[in-house]
Structure 1
Amino acid sequence: MIAAAVSCKKNNGEVTTSSASQQQTAVEQLSASPLYPGYNTSPQPPDASGMSSTAQQLAAKIRIGWNIGNTLDAIGGETAWGNPKVTNDLVRMVKQAGFNAIRIPCSWNQYSDAKTAKIQDAWLNRVKEVVQYCVSNDMYVILNVHWDGGWLENNCTPEKKDSVNAKQKAFWEQIATSLRGFDEHLLFASANEPNVGDATQMNVLLSYHQTFVDAVRSTGGRNAYRTLVVQGPSTDIDKTVQLMTKLPADRVPNKMMVEVHAYTPYQFALMTKDETWGKQFFYWGMGYHSTTDPDHNATWGEEAEIDRLYKFLKSAFVDKGFPVVLGEFGAIRRTALTGDNLRLHLASRAYHLKYVVKQCKTNGVLPFYWDEGALGNNSFGIFDRRSNTVFDRQALDSLLRGLN
């Protein structure tokens, strides 16, 4: 998933603008929210220093990205899901391995006061520290509000619209104020995978994105010019093209990107056991099907489908001036397999990762690989964060070969 306010509307292939009055109405509605205190307590005059790149120019600078998954987003604390705390050494290793951008999935709700939505200063400072690791290593950073207990993602409904918008405003005023000093290396992302299935829910999600944009811009300083990322419905590519017929209004032009995720096909990327309705895919792509285990060959979602999805995004958004972030993609490594089956699966997986990256780069989409840490079987992990070493060289090399 801009005072001239701009939004994207696909109408006979045209990109149109929404009125400034629509944006003002949204601002007035948010200002009237009685649920939480206002946290935009120290707005600054706009500061364009270090913020000159448009969204399109930033997109051209981002080579390939990596997710610090299951860490700052972990419910229970940064190390609760098995990964160590993020260090500068980890970020430096990721940079040296070939990535120049990091997506930071981040939880905020568990670190906030339920009555006031006040985020703990210690957590704001910790997130700022991790962002600084990335920027100090000349990495681009996308920082989001991740699943975070589902307070936004599971509530894209008219009934929850006002309360969610109030929390979205409170959180982003605090996050944006805390991180206002960073230059254009830092991008903010409104949400993660908002659960949306129809036009009504899409309109609610658009209000959440509008709240995000308005809250960030209101803090001023470099945030007046920061590039912002908004998520499509369920971050599903087809849903995003079909339902996201406009983007939130923004007071500055050419500073917005759209985000989708893709674990395609599901049976190859994520499925971990055979079901009555279908089996897992262990072998994907032309030349990688098994003759000895044909029940687990891919039967859909192969090269032609990957081609279709990324061409779809290019025509719907990229060609209209809105870069697209593939915020998450990947396929699990099925190390329970053995012998020739394991070798064929790993070769197939390597081909899949290379193919997805190649199609992203061909169509102007920015790929960010999902890595939850090298934590055992059925893992995406390519780095061992406990020793800051490469855990899966085959996958890493394949991702990088897709850039060429």
Structure 2
Amino acid sequence: MNSTAAQLAARMTIGWNIGNTLEATGGETAWGNPKVTDALIKEIKKSGFNAVRIPCSWDQYANQSTAKIKAAWLNRVKEVVKYCIDNDMYVILNIHWDGGWLENNCTPEKKAAVNAKQKAYWEQIATYLRDFDEHLIFASANEPAVASPVQMDVLLSYHQTFIDAVRSTGGKNAYRTLVIQGPSTDFDKTLHLMTKMPEDQAKNRLMLEVHSYTPYQFALMTQDEKWGNQFYYWGLGYHSSADIAHNATWGEESEIDRAAKDIKAKFIDEGVPVIIGEFGAIRRSSLVGDALNRHLNARAHYLKYFVKQAKADGLVPFYWDEGRLGNNSFGVFNRQTNTVFDKQALDSLICGTN
């Protein structure tokens, strides 16, 4: 447990999310993915990733009167963590959206109740998993909805409760690196609203997390709207002359550069390492002909450029993979067969690290 947060971040090449799985409402396979296996993790490692983010639900497995988490679920999560660490990968384990009990309630009115639950859950999670070495990192939340200084203060209290709860369990957890999330994990909200970090008795053991699906019209938007169109084509040299209406009009290379450099200056340069816990852009496979080829090439450029710029500024990127393989999906791996599904995207992501 000797490494600082910055030293661990420096060793993380690129990360991958086990999305839509352990955080799924209704159970691990409820959102269409199979159970995580050691074979899947081996394929992820072989493909060039050395860190895994595990979005995880806990509230649905807890007694709502006592806040006690089911032992069977704690054991299953421990099993998946062990797959990763046995394959010499770093693991970030969080409390994800989880029904929104924390994420949707960063308000003074909910502060006491949420802090009580945050404390109870993290004491149990940290105690159950405390024997893992520094390859295991805990993360307080996922995308806490915060848009004002008042809400930011409430979120900081949730992060403080998380840190204090983990540290209180002792052993390796007294030194374990922990991750806290910026407001809405948004780059600009984090720059403007996050004016301080929570306190930690362990020195240099905190990381900050932000997410990026910028520009929204390229990364996530799935239909044209009155206010604007989807972006099929992103980046210098990748626009279409035949489909001008779907060329990106903002959020291209200069915006990626700007956001990364601003976060670097405010946090990384001040000693707080930063992970991009989620990023990516959907694959619009319903396009045909030249439009499809141009889109896929633009997407490959986006993924490579995003990773390369993040790494250049010291941010650690974690690709969002929700396991879906159809139109408007992120899936790089076929989890039914534990094989690479989207080699173009995979090659672009890994190439960005070089």
Common topology (TM > 0.5) = yes
DSSP-derived class of the 1:159 partner = coil
C-alpha distance in 1 between matches for 2:270 and 2:241 = 44
1:213 aligns with 2:163: yes
1:381 aligns with 2:296: no
TM-fit CA distance, 1:376:
1.6
C-alpha distance in 2 between matches for 1:117 and 1:279 = 45
C-alpha distance in 1 between matches for 2:133 and 2:55 = 20
TM-fit CA distance, 1:312:
0.6
TM-fit CA distance, 1:377:
1.2
C-alpha distance in 2 between matches for 1:281 and 1:117 = 44
C-alpha distance in 2 between matches for 1:73 and 1:392 = 24
CA contact 1:374–1:385 (8 Å) conserved in 2: no
CA contact 1:117–1:171 (8 Å) conserved in 2: yes
- Counterpart of 1:23 in structure 2 is none
C-alpha distance in 1 between matches for 2:286 and 2:62 = 40
Report % sequence identity: 72
1:140 aligns with 2:90: yes
1:54 aligns with 2:4: yes
1:159 aligns with 2:106: no
1:365 aligns with 2:315: yes
Instruction: Give every structure 1 segment of 4 or more consecutive aligned residues whose post-TM-superposition deviation is greater than 6 Å.
Output: none
C-alpha distance in 2 between matches for 1:253 and 1:209 = 16
2:43 pairs with one of 75, 93, 100 = 93
Which residue identity lines up with residue 61 of structure 2 in the other structure? Answer: Y
Which residue identity lines up with residue 312 of structure 2 in the other structure? Answer: T
TM value normalised by structure 2? 1.00
- Counterpart of 1:343 in structure 2 is 293
C-alpha distance in 2 between matches for 1:343 and 1:374 = 20
- Counterpart of 1:249 in structure 2 is 199
- Counterpart of 1:202 in structure 2 is 152
DSSP-derived class of the 1:164 partner = helix
Which residue identity lines up with residue 177 of structure 1 in the other structure? Answer: T
Which residue identity lines up with residue 42 of structure 2 in the other structure? Answer: R
CA contact 1:374–1:391 (8 Å) conserved in 2: no
C-alpha distance in 2 between matches for 1:84 and 1:316 = 40
Describe the superposition over 1:294-314 as per-residue Cα deviations: whole angstroms up to 9, x where unpaired.
000000000000000000110
CA contact 1:235–1:259 (8 Å) conserved in 2: yes
TM-fit CA distance, 1:374:
3.0
C-alpha distance in 2 between matches for 1:76 and 1:297 = 39
TM-fit CA distance, 1:375:
3.6
Instruction: Indicate the RMSD between aligned Cα atoms, in angstroms.
Output: 0.4
1:290 aligns with 2:217: no
Structure 1 unaligned blocks of 5 or more = 1-50
TM value normalised by structure 1? 0.87
Larger Rg over CA atoms: 1
TM-fit CA distance, 1:108:
0.2
C-alpha distance in 1 between matches for 2:117 and 2:169 = 16
Describe the superposition over 1:108-145 as per-residue Cα deviations: whole angstroms up to 9, x where unpaired.
00000111111000000000000000000000000000
TM-fit CA distance, 1:205:
0.0
C-alpha distance in 2 between matches for 1:317 and 1:355 = 22
- Counterpart of 1:14 in structure 2 is none
TM-fit CA distance, 1:241:
1.1
- Counterpart of 1:169 in structure 2 is 119
C-alpha distance in 2 between matches for 1:352 and 1:365 = 16
Structure 2 unaligned blocks of 5 or more = none
